[in-house]
Structure 1
Amino acid sequence: MREYRFLFRKTWQEFYSEAEVWNPRDPERQLILDQPPPNHVRIDWYPSLEAIGEWDSSLKCIVTDFPLDPSGSLDLTMIKKYWFMDEVIPVDPIRWRPFEPANPDKLSALAIHNLTENGGVLKIIDRPSPKTRKMRALRLRVISCARSVESWLAHPLFSLLVVLLCFALWWQLYIFAYESLPFPPGREPYSAIFVRRVRRIMGRGT
Structure 2
Amino acid sequence: MLKTLRPALLLFAMLSLLTGLAYPLLTTALAQALFPQQANGSLIEKNGQIIGSRLIGQHFSGNQYFWGRPSATSPMAYNAGGSGGSNLGPTNQAQLDAVKANVEQLRKAHPTESGAIPVDLVTASASGLDPDISLAAAYYQMARVAQARGIALAQVHKLVDDHAIAETFGLLGEPRVNVLELNLALDALK
TM-score computed with the length of structure 2 as normaliser: 0.25
Higher Cα radius of gyration:
1
The structure showing larger relative contact order (alpha-carbon pairs under 8 Å, at least 6 residues apart) is 2
Q: TM-score, normalised by structure 1?
A: 0.23
